[in-house]
Amino acid sequence: MVLTTFVLMSVVWVFLNARVENIFYDDFRTNIETNYNELGINEENTDYQKLFKELKENALIAGFIHGHDKSYTILDKSTAEILYSSDVLYETDKLQFRNEIFKSENLLYVLSQKDANVVGNKQKYTKADGGNFYDYVKTQKLKDGEYVLFFKYNRDRALVVLEDFSNAILLSTVISLFAAVVIGSVLSRTITLPINDIMHKAEKITDGEFGYALTVKSDDEVGKLTQTFNFMSSRLKSMLTEITSEKKKLETILDYMTDGIIAYNRSGEVILTNPAAEKLLKSKTSEIVSFDEFMNILGISLKMDDITEENNISEPLHKVQYKDKFIKIHLAIFTDENNQTDGVIAVIQDITEEHRLDNMRKEFVANVSHELRTPLTSVKSYTETLLDGALQDRATAEQFLGVINEETDRMTNLVKDLLTLSQHDGGIVLNLDDISIGDLVGSCIERMKREAKLKNQELKSKIKHGLPIIQGDRYRIDQLIINIIGNAIKYTPEKGKIMVQVHCDNDNLIISVEDNGIGIPAPDLGRIFERFYRVDKARSRQMGGTGLGLAIAKEIAILHGGNITVKSKLGKGTNISVLLPIRKARR
Ligand code: ADP
């Protein structure tokens, strides 16, 4: 504001100076013109003497005679000789006077021109040693020759007025500057201070400090700016809170989801992993390799460069083996603001269990079909033979029907076992009862004795007295004991020995069935409880086994909160122990 005021006042000063000077000169010139015209001088009626006389007598001229300020001078145009001058200096020093007036460009111009009506008023004032002067030059043709009239007006008079003007302007300038300082400082309070506040607040927001809203001190633009800034700051704060909470939610989801997530940038570097991915790949974040390397390990021929080039993944789903696991990996691209691939997200699922179950299911169906096919083929072939005529031969017919009956029994057993397992898979409800295991085992041995006798086997039992009563499903525990004793009879040759013992150990009841039969090879020990697993398929089938007995037995033991273990030596014998908790009984 100070600068603007100063510049404005300077312009006014220059302009007024020029204007005042113009007024002075114009007044001087028009005054001469008007008065001179009134004299009515022309070439026909006037000669030098008359001109000289007229000029001296004229009221106008009065102002010029002996005047310090104004004077007139008559020159002969052809010789440029001064004929007369009313100037004081002319009277004292003619030579200097001549020197001074001949500095006037107006005079020199007029003298140089032939035209009789030429006027010298181009330059307003002439600089001279004796003081600057305004001058106006006129030519006048008379009867006796051509003359030049040189009118002079001391510039000092104008300068006095100009000085007054300058002083007034200087004073105005000082007052204006003072006003500019005062108004400027008041404005700075209402404009600069709030803007400063906004600036500081903006710096704090940049550092994440939102603090309180700024006070709106006025209703003008600055006030509106403050209001808008407050609104912007509050919106920014709420947006930031929203983003932070969304981020936290996403982090929690990523941390707790069971699927592994790995995000890669467009260069294939890992930018994010979740704990599930680290657990699944059994490596720390820093050990998880780049996209290309990972795909190479998984045997998937896919490179990040190809994905960014195509902007698409043609085959996003893969099921592959990774170390000891089977994984399902789903790849998806994420894009930038131009819809160009910015990276890839890999969602990894552990499908080892799914894979195992799928295999088991396939194996199970194959096993069941196989188990049913053998007796069915046998039934079919015997029936055909009977229909083809064997029916006539009673002895053969009876033998064949016996085989058919046996095969049907085998199938019935298999279906029964399958039904039991399917019940277990569907989640059976145990029919809990108070059971005396001693009595239950005794009754089972009684029932199995006939079978043992057929093989001349010795089936003995040693049951401790005073065993505690346990809670369990009588029917199923009975089935469990029969299965194990049945196996001992099946896999022990004639004249073998089988010993069934029941005793108490801490919190468990232990039923152990020991035989001196064929035994089980060590590598098979871990698998005999699997469904359809049989050490010697032919022998088992021959014995009427289905390969499901021990699987059912183990499931019953587990359902009761117990377990079943096996010890065996090939060719020496086998010991199968069932452990049942005394107080703990499930369901
Ligand atoms: P299976 O109906 O074939 O007997 P199990 O599930 O009852 O089926 O038993 C699985 C396999 O375990 C049998 O095929 C057999 O090879 C072996 N096994 C079970 N009990 C004995 C035992 N006491 N002595 C020797 N081998 C046994």
Mean pLDDT: which of 44-53, 108-117, 240-249, 355-364 is highest? 240-249
> Of 141, 179, 168, nearest to 5 (Cα)?
179
DSSP output for 381-419:
HHHHHHHTTGGGSHHHHHHHHHHHHHHHHHHHHHHHHHH
The pLDDT score that the predictor gives to residue 273 is 92
Q: What is the rounded average pLDDT of the residues 211-230? A: 84
Tell me phi and psi for residue 565, to 5 degrees. -130, 160
pLDDT of residue 586: 44
Q: Which atom, in ligand 1's list, is nearest to the CA of 541?
A: 3
534 in contact with ligand 1, CB cutoff 6 A: yes
CA distance 200 to 222: 15
With a cut of 80, say whether residue 60 has pLDDT above it.
Answer: no
- Please give the CATH architecture assigned to the domain spanning 428-581: 2-Layer Sandwich (3.30)
pLDDT in tens, 518-553: 999 999 999 999 988 888 887 777 777 788 899 999
Residue 585, pLDDT score: 42
Is pLDDT above 80 for 583? no
Top CATH class of 39-154 equals alpha beta
Residue whose CA lies nearest to ligand 1 atom number 19: 487
Q: At what angle do helices 394-426 and 549-559 cross, to 10 degrees?
A: 30
Q: Is residue 496 lining ligand 1, measured as CB closer than 6 Å? A: no
Tokens of 338: 């131009």
274 lines ligand 1 (CB under 6 A): no
What is the pTM assigned to this prediction? Answer: 0.50
- Assess whether the C-beta atom of 379 lies below 6 angstroms from ligand 1: no
Q: What is the pLDDT of residue 474?
A: 93
Query: How confident is the model over 472-516, as pLDDT tens digits?
Result: 999 999 999 999 999 999 999 999 999 999 999 888 999 999 999
Please write the tens of the pLDDT for every residue from 294-323: 999 999 999 999 999 999 998 999 999 988
Architecture of 355-422 per CATH? Orthogonal Bundle (1.10)
Is the CB of 489 within 6 Å of ligand 1?
no
Q: What is the pLDDT of residue 442?
A: 94
Span from the CA of 575 to the centroid of ligand 1 (angstroms): 12
Q: Residue 534 CA: which ligand 1 atom is closest? A: 14
Tens-place pLDDT, residues 402-454: 999 988 998 998 899 888 888 888 788 888 989 999 999 999 999 999 999 99
Cα of first residue to Cα of last residue in the chain, in angstroms, is 95
Q: 482 C-alpha vs ligand 1 centroid, how far in Å?
A: 13
The CATH fold of domain 257-350: Beta-Lactamase (3.30.450)
Entry field: residues in the chain = 587
Give the model confidence (pLDDT) of 335-388 as tens digits. 999 999 999 999 999 999 999 889 888 988 888 888 888 889 999 999 999 999
Residue pointed to by tokens 């997200």:
345
The CA 500 to ligand 1 mean position distance, Å, reads 17
Instruction: Detail the DSSP E strand segments found in 222-340.
Output: 260-265, 270-273, 317-322, 325-335
Q: Does residue 547 have its Cβ closer than 6 Å to ligand 1?
A: yes
Residue 525 Cα to ligand 1 midpoint, Å, equals 10
Q: Where are the alpha helices (DSSP H) in 257-351?
A: 275-280, 291-298, 304-310
At 117-171, the pLDDT tens digits run 888 888 888 888 878 898 999 999 888 889 999 998 888 877 888 888 889 889 9
**Residue 529 C-alpha to ligand 1 middle, in angstroms?**
9
Q: What are the extents of the domains in the chain?
A: 39-154, 257-350, 355-422, 428-581
List, for residues 74-98, the tens digit of each pLDDT value.
Answer: 999 989 999 998 888 888 899 999 9
Q: Which amino acid appears at position 414 of this protein?
A: L
Pocket residue to mutate for ligand 1, from 367, 520, 542, most atoms within 8 A of Cβ: 520
CB 546 less than 6 A from any atom of ligand 1: yes
Question: What one-character-per-residue DSSP string does 70-81 give?
Answer: EEEEEEETTT--
Q: Whose CA is nearest to atom 7 of ligand 1?
A: 549
Domain 39-154 identical in fold to domain 428-581:
no
